[in-house]
Amino acid sequence: MGGESAVRIAALLPDVLGTYSDGGNVTVLAQRLRWRQIPVEICTVAAGDVPPADCDLYVLGGGEDGAQVFAADWLRRHSRLRATLEERAVTMVVCAGLQVLGRWMQDTAGRRHPGADVLDLTTKAGRRRAIGEVVSRCAIPGVGALTGFENHRGVTTLGAGLLPLAEVVRGVGNGAGDHGDGVLTSTVVGTYLHGPVLARNPALADAVLSRVTGRALPSLELQDQEAVRRLRLGRSSVTRLRAARW
Ligand code: GLN
């Protein structure tokens, strides 16, 4: 009897921030645990649900401007969850999910909407949308290059104590002029990359899972994984970027 307790992953607001297939990140995280015989439980938390505050990992995806204002209000209303994100749980956020964790978000009309205030970062609408493939170098040791696609207008500035998840080699990312993408703290992994990003970058998924489980995980050798990765990096090469005109 007994055995390892399940890692509990909360998919937050897939009905609100579900535009860019980022829900696939939850599938990837759960499956990489199952492949290692680590039990996992997924809690899908819709806008009408009371969110559990005792999960190990919370995942938020991208979405439209209006949807993310709703999501930020929702997080502030659910103060136990908000405190869990601030103090304890590992959180994986993408694009709008990253923006809503910040102090505020300023829309194209110059209106400021309060964020969930979990992280010291702010977002303003930029002059034009950043759309296209991104290649970056991840700051987490051993993760290497990340690829994904971005589609956002928000420009995110990190507070003085925060560091980005990655350095952008191609594409825009946070867009604040320092070539950073996303944010990395002891509990939050945030990025502008869709894909879903964890399907395209399994090493990042494993880095998130290592934080959750508190240990290095045995590697998974999946058929064709390395070949697919080389193909993606090749397609995103700087030479092609110059030719691509996006
Ligand atoms: N609505 C936000 C923006 O345009 C986020 C978009 C997204 O999640 N891809 O900046």
Judged by phi (left if over 0) then psi (alpha if -120 to 50, else beta), residue 169 lies in: alpha
- pLDDT tens readout for residues 210-233: 999 999 999 897 777 777 778 777
Question: Can you give the pLDDT at residue 224?
Answer: 75
**Residue 97 contacts residue 20 (beta carbons within 8 Å):** no
Question: Can you give the pLDDT at residue 221?
Answer: 76
CA 153 / ligand 1 centre spacing (Å): 6
CA 175 / ligand 1 centre spacing (Å): 13
CA 224 / ligand 1 centre spacing (Å): 32
66 within a domain of the structure (yes/no): yes
Q: Identify the domain containing residue 28 by its residue range.
A: 7-243
Question: Can you give the pLDDT at residue 1?
Answer: 45
88 within a domain of the structure (yes/no): yes
Tokens of 225: 């994984």
Q: Strand 57-60 and strand 180-181: pairing? A: unpaired
Question: Can you give the pLDDT at residue 239?
Answer: 46
Ligand 1 pocket residue status of 154, Cβ below 6 Å: yes
CATH of the domain at 110: 3.40.50.880
Residue 225 dihedral angles phi and psi, to the nearest 5°: -60, -45
Report residues of the chain scoring pLDDT below 50: 1, 239-246
48 within a domain of the structure (yes/no): yes
154 within a domain of the structure (yes/no): yes
Spatial distance between the Cα atoms of 76 and 160, rounded to a whole number of angstroms: 23
- pLDDT tens readout for residues 26-73: 999 999 999 999 999 999 999 999 999 999 999 999 999 999 999 999
> What is the distance, to the nearest Å, from the Cα of residue 246 to the centroid of all Cα atoms in its chain?
24
Q: What is the tally of structural domains in the chain?
A: 1
2 within a domain of the structure (yes/no): no
Spatial distance between the Cα atoms of 42 and 58, rounded to a whole number of angstroms: 10
Question: Can you give the pLDDT at residue 199?
Answer: 96
In a 10 Å sphere around its CB, with 0-12 CB exposed, 13-18 middle and 19+ buried, how is residue 111 labelled? exposed
108-113-117 Cα angle (round to 5):
130
211 within a domain of the structure (yes/no): yes
1 within a domain of the structure (yes/no): no
Residue 10 dihedral angles phi and psi, to the nearest 5°: -100, 120
Model's pTM, two decimal places? Answer: 0.92
What type of residue sits at position 93? V
The secondary element (H helix, E strand) that includes residue 189 is: strand 188-191
Question: Can you give the pLDDT at residue 46?
Answer: 98
92 within a domain of the structure (yes/no): yes
> What is the distance, to the nearest Å, from the Cα of residue 30 to the centroid of all Cα atoms in its chain?
15
Ligand 1 pocket residue status of 164, Cβ below 6 Å: no
Alpha carbon nearest to ligand 1 atom 5, residue: 96
